[in-house]
Each structure stands twice: as C-alpha cells, then as structure tokens.
Amino acid sequence: MIDHLQPYPKYLDSEMPWLGRIPAHWEVRRNGRLFSQRNETGFPDLPILEVSLKTGVRVRDFDNSTRRQVMSDREKYKRARQHDIAYNMMRMWQGAVGVAPVDGLVSPAYIVAKPLPETDSRYYGYLFRIGAYMDEVNKFSRGIVSDRNRLYWEDFKQMPSPFPPPDEQAAIVRFLDHVDRRIRRYIRAKRQLIALLNEQKQAIIHRAVTRGLDPNMRLKPSGVEWLGEVPEHWSVRRNGFLFRERKEPGDPNLPLLVVSLRTGVTIGDEVDDSGRPKRLIQNRENYRTVRQGDLSYNMMRLWQGAVGVAPVDGLVSPAYVVVTPITELETGFYELLFRSAEYMAEVNRCSTGIVSDRNRCYWDNFKQLVAPFPPPDEQRSIVGYLDHRLRLIDTAIEGQEREVTLLREYRARLIADVVTGKLDVREAAARLPDEADDGDAAADDPLEGEEPTDDAELNGAPEEVDV
C-alpha cells in the first residue's frame, strides 16, 4: 500500500521555504484562522494531562509514575477539551504538543488551542511535531536564552500552516493512524525481543559470576541470601577486603571519564591521537584521579549499574567513588558482578539517603557489601568466556536497535511527506478497513524513556550518568 503512493497531480509554490510546494487545491492559513485560544479555569475535578516529547498529550498516571509531584491550586490549571491542541510554551520547539485525548487539566505554562470549524486537530497534531515545523516554532519563539524561548499565543497564531480540505485532513489522519499502529506494533515486538535478550544476558552473567563455568562443580552455602551457593573452592569476602578507596587529587591534564549505564566507564573529553585531552579541565580542584584498571562508580547510580573499569588514567567527578584492588583480582570480573541485577538490588538495599531513588552508596556502604572471590585465574577465565558470549548477544541487540531506529526514521519521514502534501494518500485511506485504536499509543517503545515537559519534571535520571 505504502509503496504505491504517488505525488499529487498538480502543485503550487507555498512561498514558505520549509514547506515548499503544496497540492494546488490546498491553502496556507495562519494558525489564528485555524484555532482560537481557550483560557478556562476552575475545573478541579478533571484529570491531569501532561505532554510527552515522544507521544504528545496523555492522561498522567500518578499511580505508576516515578515522579513525585503534588498538584496544588488545581483551580488555576487550564481546561483542555477533548480534541483541543495543547502545547508547552517553552518546549513546543522540541515537540511538546499534542491533541487532548479527553477533557482534562493542563499546566498554566501550556497554551490550549481550540480547533475552529473545518480544522481537524488530529491532522495538526501530526503536522506540529514534524522537524521542519518545530524549526519554524523555534523561529517564532521569544526569550532571553535560546533554549528557554517561549511560543506565546500571539506568536503561534501568526504562524502559517498548510490547510488541506477538511475531508482530506480526515483522510490523512486515517491513513497515518493506520500506518502508525502498524509501526508501533513492529517496534514493540522488537523491544520485547531486546528485553528477552537482556534478560538472557543477565542470566548468563549471574550464573557465571556466582557459580563459575563448570556445571558439575560441587557447591557450598555462601551464607549470603542473595548469593546462594557458590563453588566449594571459592571464598566470599567483603569489598573492603578486596578494594581500598583511592583519594588521589585530580590532575587537570588527564582526560575526563564518565560512567554510562550501558557501557561502563568511557572517555568524556575529546582526545588527540596520543590519548591526551584536547582541553584542560578548569576549576575542577575537587575532581579525583582514577588509574587504568581501577573501578569507579557513581554513588547515586550504582544501584542502576553505573560502574566500570577505567580504560585509561583519567579524571572523574567528586560524585564518583574510585576503588583500587588491594589483592590480586580481575577488576573486569567485578564490573560484571556489580552490574548484575542481583547485585544492583543489594546495592540499593544498602544505600542511604532521604529519597529512595536518590540513595547514595558511599565507600563506607560499599566496603561492607560482600562478593564472591574465585581464584584470580578463574576470574580471568570467566571474563574471557563472558566477553565472547555477551558480544554475540550485544550484536543481536544492536541489530534490533538499528531496526527500531530505522522504523522511527521511516515513520517520521512518511508523516512529514504526507502532512505537507508530498504524497497523496486519499485513495489509500479510502481502501483501509475500519479498525479501533489498540490503546497503545504511549507504548510503541516501552524501553525508551518518556520525558514530560513541565519544568519541575525535567530532572529525570539520564542514561549517561555524567558530571
């Protein structure tokens, strides 16, 4: 169906560089002729709506949310009626805009736009989120700091937008909804496969770092609940008997290292061919030196796996702890152990702090944690085995993630081409069967973090635990 889409038979110049040519029977209208502003307050019993940069406007799920925010003065929140457009003034240039799925309340920092007759807000919900339109939004926004510019109503209503005939707007929405559902299903299936592969990785790691490589090895109780039985020739030691904390002052001539939740410790500075930093770290007197082969972890994110072996001598944030072995061991073995799900849960249990997801694992906490201690040569054998096994799984995961990326790019390109009139979908839409939305609009990519756009909520944990 998609392969047979063709351009419209006749075009004219829109006189807008970002839009280019449009079908000859389309118009260009300013948004003030498409929407009117809705400023209604005093409806405290309506549900709270939020804008996600990924999925547009949705009802906020307080029960399953990791964000703790008390909604006060609900009387001041704006009402958005079903099918209204709502956007965050400061974030619309990033895609913080969408169609209200139900009557609800939005932040006073949002603009609510009521569609006028002949305006299908669902079509504009697609249009306003394409890259070219977001660039235009940025041009029309105003403010002192560029990334804090606001798109006020007076500016929004002056923006020109394409205006297909109303029945064609509906046909475009019908077609894009159908394609979007199919692509979301493909992405969800691939994400489920990625989740299974990651579970397989965790099972392989846990089995190797707690039981060794010989399935016939005789076991003994470790005396540690989370660890269970270990090979009888292994010992179990506290981390304080394996490592000491390194408190060497930071050397600004060393490259900056950061911890990624996915890849461990990596170089954060640009470096030249010799590995030396291209720039000096200024005003970093409190930073710490980490030596090649040391382990470094982020105190606040160790429970998520923010730990790794330093690939080179470097400089790390004071929010990190640096530990160096005090006995012969393979630090790569302990990186794998500390990034295992069971160990991360133990770290979380032993961390301290006022807020659970901001608990810190200080050196005094870390040194009391226990770990299995195989003979050093066996540790190296386990690392070598896991390096091979995990590389195969990582290759499969990377392949699936590339396909997800390509699907997202294809979806974005198709939406842009259809809403700007580059492809004619009228006949294709007319041939589509009736189908109900499967209700998974927010679940096309369950492993991709959803980022709400209220200013108070822009402090979620990033994947890259940097300085």
Given CA atoms 420, 423, 427, 432 in this order, what sign does their dihedral have?
negative
Given CA atoms 172, 173, 175, 176 in this order, what sign does their dihedral have?
positive
Q: What pLDDT does 449 receive?
A: 44
| Per-position DSSP letters for 63-113, written without gaps between them | TT-S-------GGGSEEE-TT-EEEETTTGGGT-EEE-SSSEEE-TTEEEE
Question: 117 or 449: whose pLDDT is higher?
Answer: 117
Q: What pLDDT does 435 receive?
A: 74
pLDDT band at 53, cuts 50/70/90? confident
For 357-402, write each residue's pLDDT tens digit. 678 999 999 999 999 999 999 999 999 999 999 999 999 999 999 9
Residue with tokens 């061919």: 273
Q: Which two tokens stand for residue 354?
A: 């006022």
Residue with tokens 């709400």: 452
Q: What length does the chain have? A: 467
Q: Phi first, then psi: give them for residue 57, nearest 5 degrees.
A: -85, 135
Q: Check: pTM over 0.85? Answer yes or no.
A: no
**Averaged pLDDT for residues 44-52:** 90
pLDDT band at 209, cuts 50/70/90? very high
What residues contact residue 19 under an 8 Å CB cut-off, 6+ apart?
A: 28, 132, 162, 420
Range of weakest confidence among 82-91, 145-154, 340-349, 396-405: 145-154
* Residues 58/96, Cβ–Cβ less than 8 Å: no
Range of weakest confidence among 41-50, 279-288, 400-409: 279-288
SS3 for 27?
strand
- Percent of the chain at pLDDT exceeding 70: 86
Residue (of 403, 363, 124, 96) closest to 240 by Cα position: 363
Distances (CA, A) of 275 to 279, 312, 322: 12, 9, 21
For the chain, the average pLDDT equals: 88
Distance CA 213, CA 227 (A): 16
Q: What is the 3-state secondary structure (H, E, C) of 2-13?
A: HHHCECCCCEEE
Distance CA 389, CA 326 (A): 29
Q: What pLDDT does 203 receive?
A: 96
**Averaged pLDDT for residues 259-265:** 83
Instruction: Give yes or no for residue 80 having a pLDDT over 50.
Output: yes
pLDDT band at 412, cuts 50/70/90? very high
> Where do the H-state alpha helices sit in 141-165?
153-156
Q: How many CA atoms lie within 13 A of 33 on its CB side?
A: 9
**Averaged pLDDT for residues 175-200:** 96
Distance CA 230, CA 217 (A): 9
Domain boundaries in the chain?
A: 27-163+453-467, 234-373
SS3 for 434?
coil
pLDDT band at 55, cuts 50/70/90? confident
**Averaged pLDDT for residues 185-195:** 97
Distance CA 459, CA 457 (A): 6
- Percent of the chain at pLDDT exceeding 90: 72
**Averaged pLDDT for residues 207-225:** 95
Range of weakest confidence among 139-148, 285-294, 418-427, 437-446: 437-446
For 234-261, write each residue's pLDDT tens digit. 999 999 999 999 999 888 888 899 888 8
Q: What CATH fold (topology level) applies to the domain 234-373?
A: Adenine-n6-DNA-methyltransferase TaqI; Chain A, domain 2 (3.90.220)
Q: What pLDDT does 463 receive?
A: 36
Return the exposure string of 175-206: e unless at least 16 CB atoms fall within 10 Å of the residue's CB, then b. Answer: bbbbbbbebbebbbebbeebeeeeeebeebbb
Q: What CATH fold (topology level) applies to the domain 27-163+453-467?
A: Adenine-n6-DNA-methyltransferase TaqI; Chain A, domain 2 (3.90.220)
Element (H, E) at 327: none
**Averaged pLDDT for residues 62-76:** 61
Helix and strand element counts for the chain (H, E): 9, 25
Distance CA 293, CA 308 (A): 9
* Residues 331/295, Cβ–Cβ less than 8 Å: yes
> What's the one-letter identity of residue 63?
D
pLDDT band at 447, cuts 50/70/90? very low
pLDDT band at 270, cuts 50/70/90? low
Q: What pLDDT does 464 receive?
A: 37
